[in-house]
Structures are given as C-alpha cells and as structure tokens.
C-alpha cells in the first residue's frame, strides 16, 4: 500500500552549489547528507512537511544521474512513494504490467529499500518506491 510521497529527487551537477541555493530557499541546511554507493550518488535531504526534497549528485561519470543530466539537464529526476511492503507492491504493480528497472529492491539512502518503476510504464515519470529498512 502506498503511504505517502516520501520525497522528490532533483538531479544536480554540484551538491555544493545546489545546497547553497536550497539552504537559502528553506532557511536551513540539509538535515541529512550521505553517499549511496549502490546508486553512485551523494544525496542531501531538505524536509518539507512530511516529505522532503532530495538533491542528488553523481559520484560516477557513467551513473544514471550523470546520464540524466547529460540528456535533460539538472532538474526533477523522480518522485518517491513510500510503501508498507516494497516486495508486495512490486509484485502488485508487475501484475498490472508496470516494468521495473531492477528485479529486486536495493539499498537506498537514509535507511530505505528502493526500487524504480521504468518511466515508460508511468507516462514518462521515473517513480521510486521506498520502504524503511527494519
């Protein structure tokens, strides 16, 4: 079951420069920054109510974030939906012909399991599902 919008991911070239912009916008620094080796990315979270904005900087030239920026430029990369049981949601959505980028959840940032729905299955929008690791 989908619980809420967990965050909106924004691809950025420079976390340093972008963090400065968003710190001024929100009047506070990121509450959490970390490197996620599985995603070849460094991320910073800015809370907005019950959700957050996630700035994503690539740590590898051949990562999906680098490829996204090369093709589309900086901007909104994905919408993340928090779920109760990520494997159950993946199975449910596969039964409705949604295609996933990977076959099983992987470790994401901030202690979550994540899985991405291919944009071709969701009107061109990259959707991330996440479940808090237990």
User: Which tens digit of pLDDT belongs to each residue from 65-77?
Assistant: 999 999 999 999 9
**pTM metric for this prediction:** 0.94
Cα separations (Å) of 111 from 46, 67, 89, 107, 121? 16, 25, 18, 7, 26
- In this structure, are residues 128 and 81 in contact, taking their beta carbons and an 8 Å threshold? yes
Helix (H, G, I), strand (E, B) or coil at 67: helix
Distance CA 26, CA 22 (A): 6
Task: Give me the domains of the chain, ranges plus CATH numbers.
Answer: 2-132 (3.10.180.10)
The CA radius of gyration of the chain, in Å to the nearest whole number, is: 14
pLDDT in tens, 113-128: 999 999 999 999 999 9
Q: Around Cβ 20, how many Cβ atoms within 10 Å?
A: 12
């Amino acid at each position: 079951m989908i619980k809420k919008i967990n965050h909106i991911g924004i691809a950025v070239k420079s976390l340093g420069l972008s963090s400065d912009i968003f710190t001024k916008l929100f009047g506070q620094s990121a509450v959490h920054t970390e490197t996620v080796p599985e995603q070849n990315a460094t991320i910073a979270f800015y809370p907005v109510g019950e959700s957050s904005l996630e700035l994503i900087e690539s740590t590898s030239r051949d990562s999906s974030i680098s490829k996204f920026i090369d093709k589309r430029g900086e901007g909104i990369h994905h919408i993340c939906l928090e779920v109760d049981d990520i494997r159950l949601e993946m199975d449910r959505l596969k039964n409705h012909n949604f295609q996933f980028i990977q076959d099983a959840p992987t470790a994401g940032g901030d202690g979550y399991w994540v899985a991405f729905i291919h944009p071709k299955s969701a009107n061109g929008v990259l959707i991330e599902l996440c479940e808090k690791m237990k």
